[in-house]
Amino acid sequence: MKTVFITHASVDRPLALLMKQLISNTFQVGKQSLSCFCSSDIGDIEAGKHWFNQILEKLRKANICIAIMTPQSLYYSPWVAYEFGGAYMKFAINPKQSRLFPVCAYGIRGGDLPSPFNELQARDLSNSREVWTLSQEIAKALVISTFRKPRSIIQKVVSEASIGSPYWSYVSRALVGQRQASSPFSLDAILKQAKTTLFCAGFNLHHVATRPEVKKTIFDFLRDTPTKTVKLLVSDPNKFKEFAAWQCVGQNFLADLQESVANFKEWISDSTAQKLEGKLDIRCAEFIPLTVIAIDPDASHAQIVLTPNVPQRPLGVERPNFWLSRKNQPAVFAHYWDSYNDLFNRAKPI
């Protein structure tokens, strides 16, 4: 019995099931010694059995692996990469007994695939001609001479695979978190990676200014070596009329901002008393719409975390954090760092 194995992200289930239907109709699965396994088909994993072991066993026995490459499987699904790697090794060890076919859908094209996915020629499921070519290639690999062309199913595959933006080639991979505090993207956590410089800008940085443990961490960082510096940037409370609409983010926006500024003024006094003068620089700009944390921004290993604010939600609510590095996203990194560094240099001391 020969087996076709379809690997896919769980959210791509509709397309995976259509691909199984395509294989079944093209090669008349059931009438030939051929089976097609798709984990999204509830009948393909036996009830009461360990599903992970069943998947591995099916992959181990598979003669053909179809890897569905989509934005979800490339950016969010480690399972597809795991199964792709297993199938790739089978193909590399014995190419006469097994084949791996990457197929693209939902806006992904062959040129968008990162290494090692781009090591193999990929087929585009949004193109009917390529879907039929894929079917012929599978038939050749399985040594099947008699098969049919199910036009209606091919069209369904093409229609489903055509959903999505064609501009994924312009997307760079970045890490995204969901919480501001207690995460690898928080100021506390990212400060541990800083070697010389911490830069932090935000509307009021209230979560920084009002937490004694954060102040202690920052002061300990500054005392560590003479070359370390910390730069903080908040909105100017004297300009509150110009951003009064900020109350849609937090009703107490002005009171929180004033409390932060008062606390930060104490920080400056304490830094002078502790002979850290010049190492801590806190300034006010007209308005800071986005929270930005950067470490060692002028170094090759520089990193930035961007945190948007959510209207009509308290600032402690879960919200996305976007992690960028100078090495991996140089253009985007430079755009944000140059803009905020220029804003800081034009701002007045607190």
* Fold for the domain defined by 2-170: Rossmann fold (3.40.50)
Q: Where are the domains of the chain?
A: 2-170, 175-349
114-146: pLDDT as tens digits: 887 888 899 999 999 999 999 999 999 888 888
Was domain 175-349 assigned CATH 3.20.20.70? no
Distances (CA, A) of 306 to 79, 106, 216, 295: 28, 28, 23, 12
Average pLDDT over every residue of 257-274: 96
Query: Which residues are CB-contacts of 236 (< 8 A; sequence separation ≥ 6)?
Result: 284, 285, 286, 287, 348
Residue 242's CB is within 10 A of a number of other CB atoms, namely 12
The rounded distance, in Å, linking the Cα atoms of 309 and 202 is: 10
- Entry pTM: 0.72
The rounded distance, in Å, linking the Cα atoms of 254 and 236 is: 10
Q: What is the residue-averaged pLDDT of the chain?
A: 86
Q: How confident is the model at residue 181 (pLDDT cuts 50, 70, 90)?
A: low
Contact 340, 297 (CB under 8 A): no
Average pLDDT over every residue of 149-172: 90
Q: What pLDDT shows up at residue 277?
A: 82
Res. 348: pLDDT tops 70: yes
Q: What pLDDT shows up at residue 117?
A: 83
312-333: pLDDT as tens digits: 555 555 677 888 999 988 999 9
Sheet holding 123-124, edge to edge: 34-38, 2-7, 64-69, 99-104, 123-124
